[in-house]
Amino acid sequence: MSRLGVPLALLALSPALSSACKEPPEPASLSYDAGRSRRLLQPPGGEVRAVPPHLIHADGVGPYVLGATLREVLELLARGPRVVLLQIDDVVDFSLVRAEQDALLIGVEPLGGVAFVSVLDEEIGRTEAGVGVGSTAAELDAALGARLRDPAAARHPSLLVFERLPGVRFVLDAPGGRVLAVVVGSRSSPPASAGAGQDAASGEGEGAAGRFEGAQSAAARAALDAGTLAPVALTPPPDPCAASVDVGERGAELAALGGLDPAAALWTSACFSGDDAELLGYDRGRLAVVAGGNSSSLAPLRRVASHEAPGLVFAAPLDLEGDGRSELAVVTQHEADEIRWLSFELLRLEGAQLVSLGAVEGYHLSERNSRWVGAHLSEITLIPELHARGAAVEFGGLYLHRLPTGIETVVPLVGGELQPRRRRLSPAPAAAEQLDGGLSDAAHEPDGVVLEIPGSVSEPALPRPPADARPTPTPTPTPNDARPGAPPAPGQTVPATGAVPEPAPAPVPAPPATGPRREAAPPSAASRTNPAPPARAPENPDAPAEDEREP
């Protein structure tokens, strides 16, 4: 082997020798799955609060519910809420909490809790049906169903209330337009039950609803008596007094008959005279009641009554007494000397005339008191409504502050009251003429009339003697021709004689010759006990006097 081959062989054997000299490798450790590591949740460092969109329900908007205190409301809001005092004498009076960038208003009464919640933006709140600010009146009808029918309420046509949400008012920009705001609470009318307190089975309820309930109950009893398993189902008849009116092509004819502007006239149905429905139409300054306009009536159209109402805001039927006969609520707006106010009047249809039952003014606004709340008079709109409460009519509505950029404020108005006059009863028959002291004139009392004297025993007055029994009047004697037995003249002294005269009646003071007539003095106790005998004529006028007879 050459010298070069030995190093090469050693170099080739070196890896094998080095591997043989190393220690054996350690066995690989077994790994096990310990599962997912547990996470410890820490409480959040900031505040957690409800965020819009909120649910609009009958008791409030989201977590802001009616009746809550101001402290509870502030705890739900982020720090630094805007709380302002919105106050105009006899118009609005609330502590107003502005939230969600002034798109949510929460009104708190001075001595109470949350009175209302207003939604001014469509992103703040929606109803369960998905409608709210920005929806049209048609979309509200499709989503919420029937509108609330309350005969004891009269609302502006820009206010819509539905049976599903009786405490929620949808404010439209115009009748049939889009929703500007949604107001929950504060003087909302509950649904009126037709025929309440009556026997539904007998059909004595008020209106068509009561008659339908009675007919349905009677049909059910008849089905049970006949052994029918399924009761008879009846369709409730339409109530003509509660039907909404769509005059359609007859609008021009009705407007011409009532003397109204066809482009501005609004029509509604009501029962002013009884069970037959009339149509009430009005424009900006006049209203009219037209009969025969109901689709179920075959009578020709005729104008029943009309009424001039300058500055008319709206007119609507209002059942004051709950008898199914509606009165007419009329609201007008007036302006003078830079002051604007509303006038509320209640009318009743009597024959062919609308008779006023009372009127009252309210909500006086001026440029000065409007600036107290950061508004101009031209930016403020009042949307009125009325409710019958017993014998009175309460009026209220909404205060709306609208800027060119959108709605700034919508709050309820301070409530007022109108006391209507009742029908006057015919006056009672005139009583006997009463004189001073409450006593009747004794000289003019008829025969047998009982004189009632306070503190004494009532006795019948003595009857007057007949006219033929009275003595013939004789000329007044003078001192020269006086004879015994003759009545003395006034101021004459009669000399005493030996004859014993008859007992004379008790003297009665003569009334004065001049001056006003005095009343006869009431009889004394002695005269009531022993009344003097009435004057009697002599039995024989030709017989000589008693003192002329021979002894």
Instruction: Write the pLDDT tens digit of every residue in 54-91.
Output: 999 999 999 999 999 999 999 888 776 678 999 999 99
- Tokens at residue 475, please? 């000329």
Q: Measured between alpha carbons, how far is residue 223 from residues 211, 229, 378 in Å?
A: 18, 7, 64
What pLDDT does residue 225 have?
Answer: 58
Confidence of residue 461 (pLDDT cuts 50, 70, 90): very low
Residue 421, pLDDT > 90, answer: no
Helix, strand, coil % (nearest 5) of the chain? 15, 30, 55
- Do the Cβ atoms of 196 and 204 come closer than 8 Å? no
- Tokens at residue 334, please? 């007036």
Average pLDDT over residues 140-149: 94
- Tokens at residue 231, please? 């009761």
Q: Measured between alpha carbons, how far is residue 157 from residues 131, 270, 385, 539 in Å?
A: 19, 15, 10, 95
Could you give the count of Cα atoms lying within 13 Å of 440 in the half-sphere of its Cβ? 13
Query: Which single residue is written with the structure tokens 């508004």?
Result: 375
Whether omega before 53 lies within 30 degrees of 0, making that bond cis, reads yes
> In angstroms, rounded to a whole number, what is the distance separating the alpha carbons of residues 94 and 111?
10
Residue 82 CB neighbour total at 10 angstroms: 11
Residue 318, pLDDT > 60, answer: yes
| Torsional sign, CA 174, 177, 181, 185 | positive
Residues forming a β-bridge with 314 = 331
Three-state secondary structure call for residue 428: coil
**Of 356, 58, 331, 49, nearest to 188 (Cα)?**
58
- For strands 114-119 and 179-184, give the pairing: antiparallel
Residue 172 CB neighbour total at 10 angstroms: 21
Confidence of residue 449 (pLDDT cuts 50, 70, 90): very low
Q: Give ∠ CA 467-433-431 in degrees, rounded to 5.
A: 110
What pLDDT, in 10s, does the model give residues 465-487? 554 555 555 555 444 444 445 55
- Looking at residue 450, the DSSP 8-state letter turns out to be B
Query: Which single residue is written with the structure tokens 């959040």?
Result: 44
What pLDDT does residue 3 have?
Answer: 59
Please indicate whether residue 549 or residue 78 has the higher confidence score (pLDDT): 78
What pLDDT does residue 506 have?
Answer: 58
Average pLDDT over residues 91-111: 93
- Minimum mean pLDDT among 17-26, 32-41, 123-132: which range? 17-26
Residue 205, pLDDT > 80, answer: no
> In angstroms, rounded to a whole number, what is the distance separating the alpha carbons of residues 551 and 540?
20
Residue 391, pLDDT > 70, answer: yes
Q: Measured between alpha carbons, how far is residue 473 from residues 470, 477, 486 in Å?
A: 9, 12, 11
Please indicate whether residue 91 or residue 30 has the higher confidence score (pLDDT): 91
365: enclosing H helix or E strand: strand 353-366
Average pLDDT over residues 302-307: 92
- Do the Cβ atoms of 79 and 151 come closer than 8 Å? no
- Do the Cβ atoms of 305 and 354 come closer than 8 Å? yes
Confidence of residue 11 (pLDDT cuts 50, 70, 90): low
What pLDDT does residue 247 have?
Answer: 76
Sequence-ordered list of residues with C-beta below 8 angstroms from that of 168, at least 6 positions apart, any chain: 56, 58, 127, 161, 162, 182, 183, 184, 188
Please indicate whether residue 522 or residue 70 has the higher confidence score (pLDDT): 70
Residues forming a β-bridge with 183 = 118, 169
Phi, psi dihedrals of residue 377, rounded to the nearest 5°:
-60, -35
Please indicate whether residue 220 or residue 11 has the higher confidence score (pLDDT): 11
**Of 107, 108, 105, 99, nearest to 119 (Cα)?**
105
Neighbour-count burial for 268-294, b at 16+ CB within 10 Å, e otherwise: bbbbbbeeebbbbbbbeebbbbbbbbb
Phi, psi dihedrals of residue 398, rounded to the nearest 5°:
-130, 145
Residue 208, pLDDT > 70, answer: no
> In angstroms, rounded to a whole number, what is the distance separating the alpha carbons of residues 248 and 293?
12
Query: Which single residue is written with the structure tokens 């310990």?
Result: 34
Residues forming a β-bridge with 83 = 97
- Tokens at residue 136, please? 């049209």
What pLDDT does residue 50 have?
Answer: 82
- Beta strand extents in 36-152 (DSSP E only): 54-57, 60-61, 64-65, 82-88, 92-99, 104-108, 114-119, 125-126
Average pLDDT of the chain, as a whole number: 74
Residues forming a β-bridge with 178 = 136
DSSP 369-388: HHHTTT--GGGEEEEEEEEE
| Torsional sign, CA 363, 364, 366, 369 | negative
What pLDDT, in 10s, does the model give residues 255-303? 999 999 999 999 998 889 876 788 999 999 999 999 876 555 556 888 9
Residue 27, pLDDT > 50, answer: yes
> In angstroms, rounded to a whole number, what is the distance separating the alpha carbons of residues 420 and 359?
8
What pLDDT does residue 22 have?
Answer: 60
Residue 231, pLDDT > 80, answer: no
> In angstroms, rounded to a whole number, what is the distance separating the alpha carbons of residues 273 and 270?
9
- Tokens at residue 545, please? 């006097």
Residue 406, pLDDT > 80, answer: yes
Average pLDDT over residues 508-514: 53
What pLDDT, in 10s, does the model give residues 344-385? 999 999 988 999 999 999 999 999 999 999 999 999 999 999
> In angstroms, rounded to a whole number, what is the distance separating the alpha carbons of residues 353 and 157?
25
Residues forming a β-bridge with 116 = 107
- Tokens at residue 219, please? 């049909």
**Of 359, 247, 266, nearest to 315 (Cα)?**
266
Confidence of residue 233 (pLDDT cuts 50, 70, 90): very low
> In angstroms, rounded to a whole number, what is the distance separating the alpha carbons of residues 117 and 108?
9
Residues forming a β-bridge with 290 = 279, 303
What pLDDT does residue 86 have?
Answer: 94
What pLDDT does residue 427 have?
Answer: 46
Three-state secondary structure call for residue 368: helix
What pLDDT does residue 218 have?
Answer: 54
What pLDDT does residue 475 have?
Answer: 53
- What pTM was estimated for this model as a whole? 0.64
What pLDDT does residue 317 have?
Answer: 94
